[in-house]
Amino acid sequence: MHLFMTGGTGFIGSAVIPELLGAGHRVTALARSSEAAAKLEAMGATALPGSLDDLAAIERGARDSDGVIHLGFDHDFANMGRVSAMDTRAIEAMIDALAGSDRPLLVAAGLAGFTLDRPIAESDAPTIPEASFPRLTSGRVTLEAAQRGVRSMIVRFAPTVHGAGDRAFIPQLIRIARERGLAAYIDDGANRWAAVHRLDAARVVRLGIELASAGSVLHAVGEEGITTRAIAESFGAHLGVPVRSIAREQAHEHFGFLGMFFGANLAASNESTRSMLDWTPMHAGLLEDLADAPYFAPVGSR
C-alpha cells in the first residue's frame, strides 16, 4: 500500500516508518519543516510539506493514498481544548478524503478517559465525558467513520512507550527524581501503568492498517501493568536516591502536571489485539529497558 502518515518523525512514528517499509509499503509523510522533510527522506519516506492545521495538505495526502496513519498530535496539555479541536478537524479532513472507499484510517489514541477498577479492555468505552478530556472526541469521530465507508480504527497506546530515544513521561519522571533527590510514588504506589516497547507498538500499527476491521479498537500494550512503586524503585536504584511515598495532595507540588498521570491507574489488556492481529510483544519490558537503555545517562549525553 501507499500510505499517508502524520507524526512520522516522532518517537513512535520513526519506528513505524521502517516497519512499514520493511513490509513492502510506500510512505508519504507530512513534514512541517525542511528539517522534518530531511529526516523523513533519510528514513525512505516521501515528504509532503504541511502541518496538522493545513487541511488542504492533509486532504491531498489522504486522497492520494491507499490508507492513512495519523500519529501526529500537539501535546500542549495547557491548551488541550484547542489542540484537540485541531486534531479532530484534521481527522475529519482525512475521513472526507477516504469516505466510501473502504480504505483504512488508523488514529492514535491513549488510555486516559477511564475510571475502571480493572485493566482497560479494547471493548471498553471511555467512562468520562468528552468535555472533561477533549481528545476523546477524535477517537469517537474516527470510529464513527466506519459508517461512511472508511475502514477506521484507533490504537490506544500505553502511557509508557519506551525504548531508545524516549523523551516522554519516563525521562521526565527521572529528571524530577534526579533534581529532587527523591524517587517518589503516590500513596501506596499500587496503581499500575501499562507499557510497550516502541518496536512492538510499531508492529501493532502496521498489522492494524493491514488487517483490522472497520470500527476496531486496538491496544498497543506489551505489559498489562507495572506498579508505579516498582517504577520509582528502579529510578532510586539507578540514581542512588531514596524511594518514598508522598501523599496524593502533594503530587502536583512534587511532579507538576505529571502528578495526575503518575497517580492514575492505567493498566490495560491486549488480549483482543493479540487475537485480531496474531501479534505477540517481542521486545524488552519497561523495567528491563530501564536497566539496559541509557535512561539514566547525564543530561546532554543521550
On whether both 219 and 290 belong to a single domain, the answer is no
Q: Same domain, yes or no, for 113 and 62?
A: yes
302 in any annotated domain: no
pLDDT score recorded for residue 74? 74
> What does the buried/exposed string (b/e) look like for 221-230 if buried means 16 or more CB atoms within 10 Å of the residue's CB?
bbbbbbbbbb
Amino acid 260: pLDDT: 87
Q: Is 209 inside any structural domain?
A: yes
Same domain, 35 and 175: no
- From CA 210, how far away is CA 57, in angstroms rounded? 24
> Among residues of the chain, what percentage have pLDDT more than 70?
96
User: What whole-number distance in Å separates Cα of residue 205 and Cα of residue 155?
Assistant: 7
Residue 117 shares a structural domain with residue 139 = yes
Which three cell numbers mark 184?
517518589
Q: What is the pLDDT of residue 293?
A: 66
Structural domain includes residue 301: no
Query: What is the spatial distance between Cα 24 and Cα 164, in angstroms, rounded to a whole number?
Result: 25
Same-domain check for residues 205 and 260: no
Do 43 and 189 belong together in one domain? no
Q: Which residues pair with 216 in a beta bridge?
A: 153
146 shares a domain with 9? yes
> Using one digit for the tens of pLDDT, what is the confidence trace for 220-253?
999 999 999 999 999 999 999 999 999 999 999 9
198 with 15: CB under 8 angstroms?
Answer: yes
- Are 36 and 58 in a shared domain? yes
300 grid coordinates? 546532554
The answer to whether residue 77 scores a pLDDT higher than 70 is no
Residue 32 has phi, psi (to 5 degrees) of -90, 0
The answer to the question of residue 218 being in a domain is yes
Interval 203-213 mean pLDDT: 98
Q: How many domains does the chain divide into?
A: 2
105 lies in which domain range?
Answer: 2-160+196-223
- My answer on whether 18 and 50 are in the same domain is yes
User: What is the distance between the alpha carbons of residues 128 and 41, in angstroms, rounded to a whole number?
Assistant: 41
Q: What is the mean pLDDT of residues 11-30?
A: 97
Are residues 57 and 155 both part of a single domain? yes
Regarding whether 240 and 138 lie in a shared domain, the answer is no
* Domain-embedded: residue 70: yes
Q: What is the distance between the alpha carbons of residues 174 and 148, in angstroms, rounded to a whole number?
A: 45
Q: Is 190 inside any structural domain?
A: yes
Q: In this structure, is residue 33 part of a structural domain? A: yes
97-121 pLDDT, tens digit per residue, is 999 999 999 999 999 888 888 999 9
Using alpha carbons, select from 268, 296, 279 the residue that is nearest to residue 122: 268
What does the H/E/C string look like for the chain?
CEEEEECCCCCCHHHHHHHHHHCCCEEEEEECCHHHHHHHHHHCCEEEECCCCCHHHHHHHHHCCCEEEECCCCCCHHHHHHHHHHHHHHHHHHHHHHCCCCCEEEEEECCCCCCCCCCECCCCCCCCCHHHCCCHHHHHHHHHHHHHCCEEEEEEECCEEECCCCCCHHHHHHHHHHHHCCEEEECCCCCEEEEEEHHHHHHHHHHHHHHCCCCEEEEECCEEEEEHHHHHHHHHHHHCCCEEEECHHHHHHHHCCHHHHHCCCECECCHHHHHHHCCCCCCCCHHHHHHHCHHHCCCCCC
* Residue 56 and residue 20 share a domain: yes
Burial class (CB within 10 angstroms; exposed 0-12, middle 13-18, buried 19+) of 104: buried
Question: What is the mean predicted confidence (pLDDT) over 45-72?
Answer: 96
Q: Which of 93, 219, 113 is nearest to 156 (CA)?
A: 219
Q: Is the pLDDT of residue 301 over 60?
A: no
| CATH label of the domain that carries residue 54 | 3.40.50.720
**Segment 120-140, tens digit of pLDDT:** 999 999 998 887 777 899 999
The model's pLDDT over 26-38, given as tens digits with 9 standing for 90+, comes to: 999 999 999 999 9
Residues paired with residue 162 on neighbouring β-strands, in sequence order = 197
Residue that has been written with the C-alpha cell 519516563 in this structure = 170
Q: What is the pLDDT of residue 49?
A: 96
Q: Is residue 272 situated within a structural domain?
A: no
